[in-house]
C-alpha cells in the first residue's frame, strides 16, 4: 500500500457539497491499495503511521506520534498514488488494486488505525471528493508497506 501523510492543523472532506468529515490537529492520510497488496500490508502501514513521530514535542522537535498527541486521522482513498508517469504525458493507473479489493483494503487500513485507538474519519471510496487542509509545517511524507 502507498500513503501520502500530511501533518495538519485542520482538514475536511466534502462530496457534492456535503461535509463528510472534518478534523482538527492530526494527519490527512491519502491511501492507495496496489495490486498484490494484502491485509498484512494494510495493517503494517496503519501501525507504522500511527507510531510515526512527526509531531512537535515541548522543545519543538518532531518527536511525538499521533498516539502521543491524541490527534485524529482523516483517511482518504487516492488511487492516483499508483500513477505511472514513466511513459508519455498521461499517467497510467494499472498498478492500483482493482476497485473492490482497493476499497476492502482501504477500509481495513482505516479500521486498523481505529483499533489502535486513533480517532479516524474517512472520505467516500471512489467518490469525487473535495479535500481541504492546512498543512502544518509543512510536513508531508510518502510511505509504502
Residues tagged active-site:
78-80
**Do you know the residue count of the chain?**
145
CA angle 81, 39, 129 (to 5 degrees): 35
User: Own/partner pairs for 50-58, CB < 8 Å, 24+ apart?
Assistant: 50/113, 50/116, 50/118, 52/5, 52/141, 52/143, 54/5, 54/7, 54/139, 54/141, 55/7
Measured at the CA of 68, the angle between CA 106 and CA 78, to 5 degrees, comes to 20
Amino acid at each position: 500500500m502507498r500513503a501520502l501523510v500530511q501533518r495538519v492543523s485542520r482538514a475536511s472532506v466534502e462530496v457534492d457539497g456535503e461535509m463528510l468529515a472534518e478534523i482538527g490537529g492530526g494527519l490527512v492520510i491519502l491511501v492507495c491499495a496496489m495490486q498484490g497488496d494484502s491485509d498484512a500490508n494494510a495493517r503494517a502501514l496503519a501501525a507504522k503511521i500511527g507510531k510515526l513521530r512527526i509531531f512537535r514535542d515541548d522543545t519543538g522537535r518532531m518527536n511525538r506520534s499521533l498516539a502521543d498527541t491524541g490527534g485524529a486521522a482523516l483517511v482518504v482513498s487516492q488511487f492516483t498514488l499508483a500513477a505511472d508517469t514513466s511513459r508519455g504525458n498521461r499517467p497510467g493507473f494499472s498498478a492500483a488494486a482493482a476497485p473492490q479489493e482497493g476499497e476492502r483494503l482501504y477500509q481495513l487500513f482505516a479500521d486498523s488505525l481505529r483499533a489502535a485507538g486513533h480517532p479516524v474519519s474517512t472520505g467516500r471510496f471512489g467518490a469525487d471528493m473535495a479535500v481541504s487542509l492546512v498543512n502544518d509545517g509543512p510536513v508531508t511524507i510518502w510511505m509504502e508497506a
